[in-house]
Amino acid sequence: MMNLRLSRYFLRSLLCMLTITVIDARLAAVPESVLGQFEFERGTSGKALKKGGIEVSFSRFKSKDGTVVEREVEDHKTAKAARAALQQEIKHSSKVMQDGYRYDAHGNQVGRKVELFLSGSANVPEQIEIAWTDGQLLYLLRSESSKHVLDFERQVYRKPSTEDSSK
């Protein structure tokens, strides 16, 4: 358990942690009228191997107002392993804000999706995380701002209108 926490801390540190700002601790729905309100520029990106030989690709995106959104995609050996990794994300979160499903462009359910609140520490700021599985892939989006991470998700991973957040 401690090794998992240390590896998560190391990975986040490796991704050049964000400056501390006040976080909107509640994930309120972003009205349609403000979708696309933030423009994001791609920053650092790369690939790494995680414990167990899991390949992780990561990228940082910065909005014009300086807020950063981090994206990680973990490529697990099986869909079952990706679901187990998502369960670990949930277990290590402070609060599950939403729990539901992710749908593809055709309205087919592709995996479980959660929106999580991650408590901060002296070295790591509080963050909002949106995580979902799609087969053997686990997608993780994180930011100190719920508005930014939700807007980024909607811009990059366009949410079909059939998405259901009930489980």
| Nearest-angstrom CA–CA distance, 14 and 28 | 30
Q: What is the mean pLDDT of residues 36-45?
A: 90
The per-residue pLDDT for 128 is: 95
DSSP summary character for residue 31: P
Q: What is the mean pLDDT of residues 135-155?
A: 95
Q: Is the pLDDT of residue 3 over 70?
A: no
In CATH, what number does 2-156 get? 3.40.1000
Q: Around 53, how many Cα atoms within 13 Å sit in the side-chain half-sphere? A: 2
Phi, psi of 100 (to 5 degrees): -160, -140
The per-residue pLDDT for 123 is: 80
Give me the amino acid identity at 16: C
Q: Is the pLDDT of residue 9 over 60?
A: no
Q: Which helix (H) or strand (E) holds 13?
A: helix 2-14
* pLDDT-based confidence at residue 159 (cuts at 50, 70, 90): low
The per-residue pLDDT for 1 is: 46
Q: What is the mean pLDDT of residues 137-153?
A: 95
Chain segment 105-119, per-residue pLDDT in tens: 888 999 999 999 998
